[in-house]
Structure 1
Amino acid sequence: MAKKSNKQSNTGMDGTDFPDDLLQTQQAWNATYRALAAPRPRKCHGAAPPSARTPSTVWPALVGAG
């Protein structure tokens, strides 16, 4: 008895064997993945967080002590 295999041959297949909408969706997915995976520069400019830059005249009003 021959051993069964779940492998299928794709002999004779080329790019035209797939529907256009599937190819377009795959291309869009690949472009999105590349964009998300690309390294992005960090915004490390050494500034203090916004709360530390709040003027002292505004800070008491923000915390309700004014």
Structure 2
Amino acid sequence: MAELKLPRLPDRTPVRLTISVMPELHAALVDYAAAYREAYGKEEPVSDLVTAMLESFLASDRAFARGRSR
């Protein structure tokens, strides 16, 4: 078979992660979800927003990216 331009897809099986947060952080996340709903007109679960926040944070941390690529 000819080599395809699209490489083999990586494992996309979600990993379940359970965390505990302080009440103040939980309240802030709930407030953020409300602000998100107001801004975009769509309600998203806090867990989905946290996932997006973590991905964004890690993608924007240049020192982390440099260290990880070594």
TM range (shorter): 0.3 to 0.5
Q: Which structure has the bigger radius of gyration?
A: 1
TM-score scaled by structure 2? 0.32
TM-score scaled by structure 1? 0.33
Which structure ranks higher in relative contact order (CA pairs < 8 Å, sequence separation ≥ 6)? 2
Structure with bigger helix share is 2
